[in-house]
Structure 1
Amino acid sequence: MNIYLVRHGITDWNKEYRWQGEEDEELNAEGINQAETVQKRFAGDNIKSIYSSTLKRAIKTAEIINRNHNLEINKLSNLDECKVGPFSGLHIDEVKNKYKKEFKEWSGDPWSNIEGMESLGDVQSRSVKAVKNIISKHEKDDKIIVVAHGLVIRTIISWVLKLPITSNSNFRIDNCSVSEVLYENNKFRLKSLNETWHLIHFNMAIYETAEERDLQ
């Protein structure tokens, strides 16, 4: 089974280095163009199903990818981005200045207990649960697209690679990147990480966003 983990297209908040979390921001024009490059990438593939988080930026990305496949988009709240509470909407510099202690605790302790914030452990638990639920519905040769968010995808990949959740910031998941996970013989393996060649092929810029910055 081929599971393609796609991060949603870029938003204005992404470009402004603002933390989005569960805020329901729309794709901007550039994000729509990014999603169209992913659509072209998968145009010739026999995709069995498309899954998405319930947030608008992920749903829109999934809808664009789906233009060639005409599938029902399955929306799962367990794929939604992390609830970041007091960080939400803030520029990375504001997080550094106002919440340095809280960020250090949250990013360093998988089971941190900060009011209004979801721990990394909780994000990973529900994200992995979503992936397991998805594979239970499919055959071994199916190709599946899952459109989600930067932190969600990084925690899933950390689980696949058996890495500590807190190491998730050691790799990037860019907007509209594709990371491929294979599920064979009851085992998960990472086949590719943060593929962006489709963006480069169509002369799209690749940005480092707030979630991809090392704030520690």
Structure 2
Amino acid sequence: MTQRLTEILLIRHGETAWNAERRLQGFLDIGLNEQGRQQAAALALALRDEAIDAVFASDLQRARDTAEAIATPRGLAVSTDANLRERCFGAFEGLRYDEIVDHFPEAWAQWQAREIDARYPAGVQAAETLREFSARAVAAVSAIASRHPGQKIAIVTHGGVLDCLYRAARGVDLQQPRDFDIMNTGVNRFGWADGALHVVSWGDVRHLDPAALDEIGQ
């Protein structure tokens, strides 16, 4: 029997200070900056007329706070899931990209080549390989979607998670260079049914137009 379609709004969290300075976050729990809070407010305003049945987020603050902007006006609670976290990058975390190049040139080259089984040096926690991370991300979203047949749900997560989900839905190899943008608070619409994800639309950031952000600031 065909399962009823789950509509999924997959959204990257708002901007953080570390995003702005190109410092890698991974599992580190960094909050939104002022720009990120404005983006989250603009996102919530843009989605105000959509009937969303449930809101989920990574348990990291930047995703959770973005999700709260969507959930609170609807009287919904945000359900958090650690499996929606960004990839764990081990010792890369907390460093700017230029610092990673200087400290770990070989591992940096593996990252840029998207070597799917490369494991970078450990930090506070052991790093995930790209293969492990993708499996975690896709399984987490599929599990959530399977519990909400026929409903529309919002999931606020991270850029790396969105990269993996786009590739899974479109059949794009993990090693292929990225040729699509993943914007802070961009709205990416997916469908899920019968165990499969598909992309409906990608990268809607109309709510980030200067005029829209100015309205939030008034």
Same fold (TM over 0.5): yes
Q: 1:155 is matched with which residue?
A: 164
Q: Which shifted more, 109-118 or 70-79?
A: 109-118
Residue in structure 2 matched with residue 49 of structure 1 by the alignment: 54
Q: Which residue of 2 aligns with 1:194?
A: 203
* Residue matched to 1:19: 24
| Counterpart AA for 1:98 | H
Give the distance between the partners of 1:169 and 1:109, measured in 2 at CA: 13
- The aligned amino acid for 1:24 is D
**Gap runs ≥5 in structure 1:** 206-216
Q: If the length of structure 1 is used for normalisation, what is the TM-score?
A: 0.88
Partners of 1:4 and 1:201 in 2: CA distance? 23
Aligned to 2:3: none
% same residue: 29
2:103, 2:179 → 1: CA distance? 24
Q: Quickly say closer, same or farther: Cα 1:200–1:168, change in 2 above 3 A.
A: farther
Query: 1:43-81, CA deviations, whole angstroms, 9 ceiling, x for partnerless residues?
Result: 111101111001001000011111221112110111011
The separation in 2 between residues aligned to 1:186 and 1:193, in whole angstroms, is 20
Q: Compute the displacement of 1:175 (Å).
A: 0.8
Which residue number in structure 1 is paired with residue 178 of structure 2?
169
In the alignment, is the contact (CA less than 8 A) between 2:55 and 2:77 conserved in 1? yes
Question: Aligned equivalents of 1:44 and 1:95: distance in 2?
Answer: 43
Q: Which AA in structure 1 matches 2:85?
A: D
Of structures 1 and 2, the larger Rg is shown by 2
Correspondence 1:1-216 to 2 at 5 A: 1-107=6-112, 108-116=114-122, 117-140=127-150, 142-167=151-176, 169-184=178-193, 186-200=195-209, 202-204=211-213
Instruction: For residues 66-125 of structure 1, give each alpha carbon's deviation from its aligned partner in whole angstroms, at most 9, with x where no partner exists.
Output: 122111211011101111112112111112232231022234221213332211111111
C-alpha RMSD of matched pairs (Å): 1.8
Distance in 1 separating the partners of 2:194 and 2:142 = 14
Letter in 2 for 1:118: E
Equivalent-residue separation in structure 2 for 1:120 and 1:202 (angstroms)? 38
How many residue pairs align between the two structures?
A: 204
When normalised by structure 2's length, the TM-score is: 0.87
Structure 2: gaps (5+ residues): 1-5
CA–CA distance in structure 2, aligned partners of residues 147 and 106 of structure 1? 24
Aligned counterparts of 1:100 and 1:181: Cα–Cα separation in 2 = 37
In the alignment, the residues of structure 2 paired with residue 133 and residue 183 of structure 1 have an alpha-carbon distance, to the nearest angstrom, of 10
Equivalent AA in structure 1 for residue 134 of structure 2? Q
User: What is the DSSP-based 3-state SS (H/G/I as helix, E as strand, rest coil) of the residue aligned with 1:169?
Assistant: coil
